[in-house]
Amino acid sequence: MSNKIYLFRLRNLGLPAIESIEELANETRLSLGKVKYLSFRSERLYKVYDVPKKTGKKREISQPNRELKALQAWVLRNILDKLSSSEHSKGFDKGTSILDNASPHVGANYILTMDLENFFPNVKASHVYNIFHSVGYNQKVSAIFTNICTFKGGLPQGAPTSPKLANLVCAKLDSRLHGYAGPKGIVYTRYADDLTLSAQTPQKIYKAKQFIGTIISDEGFSLNKEKTKISGTQRQKKVTGLIVSENNLGIGRKKYREIRSKIHYLFEGKSTEYDHVNGLMAFTYSVDRKAYKRIHTYINKLKSIYPQSEAFKKLAPEIESK
């Protein structure tokens, strides 16, 4: 493909028309030496450490240093965020949320939830290269962007570019899974590494469970079998943390009671976790307005029971701002 065609494609997408590392340095307002260092020595610029998961296992975090992270943020802002992810991807993109991921499954009798194991590291550098090359960057520039955005041959958990790149790479996976599910009346969505399929009959879901693992494997991913779950008519259905029912979705009774309990402790003076509770309330407001209004009413009730408590004043700004 000629340089003119490359440049036309880039400009048509609203992307910076970069043909060399010198032009990248100019666009980012960094010295040529700095860009070369951040690209060709990127493997040395990460701090690697583990954080515990709820399951007791550990997740490896690869944190880029300040300068590399700033360059990655430039790539995200000026290139990646201008590219569209799959319509079935409901996370890691502006304007998407767990609510968008759960909503399509409201009313389903059976839900299959699956989890992709080691999601970011399994997105290979070669796939990242193909993303940059496919939108119009030449081989050299695509390789430079790949160096900047990958670590040890995959996406680093800790880089700002990793979530969006993972979504873009998974466009083919999403297309193939929907290609199987859609014609059979099965709804498919993906939120990061969480896959959800729903249908009205158990036969469709059980057949899907047997088949789609082949597609996932063929795309270079593997399933966390411990997190594969089918929820039917006799079991509470949960999608990315939200409870899905026949005609509604929200935080569920258990989470609602947990938030009420934490608020009660604040009014009694047994807790000072105001930031945590305000965060829970903000989350509830974003995904479940009915539960939020009930919490608001409960706080007003506690105000009359504990008139001397400072809790209402510290919670009220969060409430009133909504």
pLDDT tens for 189-248 read 999 999 999 999 999 999 999 899 999 999 999 999 888 999 998 888 999 999 998 888
pLDDT at 322: 45
Residue 36 to residue 154: CA distance in whole angstroms = 20
Residue 194 and residue 175: Cα distance in Å, rounded?
15
Per-residue H/E/C for the chain: CCHHHHHHHHHHCCCCCCCCHHHHHHHHCCCHHHHHHHHHCHHHCEEEEEEECCCCCEEEEEEECHHHHHHHHHHHHHCHHHCCCCCCECCCCCCCCHHHHHHHHCCCCEEEEEEECCCCCCCEHHHHHHHHHHHCCCHHHHHHHHHHHCECCECCCCCCCHHHHHHHHCHHHHHHHHHHHHHHCCEEEEECCEEEEEECCHHHHHHHHHHHHHHHHHCCCCECHHHCEEECCCCCEEECCEEECCCCEECHHHHHHHHHHHHHHHHHCCCCCHHHHHHHHHHHHHHCHHHHHHHHHHHHHHHHHCCCCCHHHHHHHHHHCC
Spans of the chain, pLDDT less than 50: 317-318, 320-322
Contact 172, 166 (CB under 8 A): no
Return the structure tokens found at 126: 């070669």
* pLDDT of the residue at 316: 54
The reported pLDDT for the residue numbered 66 is: 97
Phi-psi category of residue 196: left, alpha or beta, with phi > 0 → left and psi -120 to 50 → alpha = beta
CB–CB of 185/142 below 8 Å? no
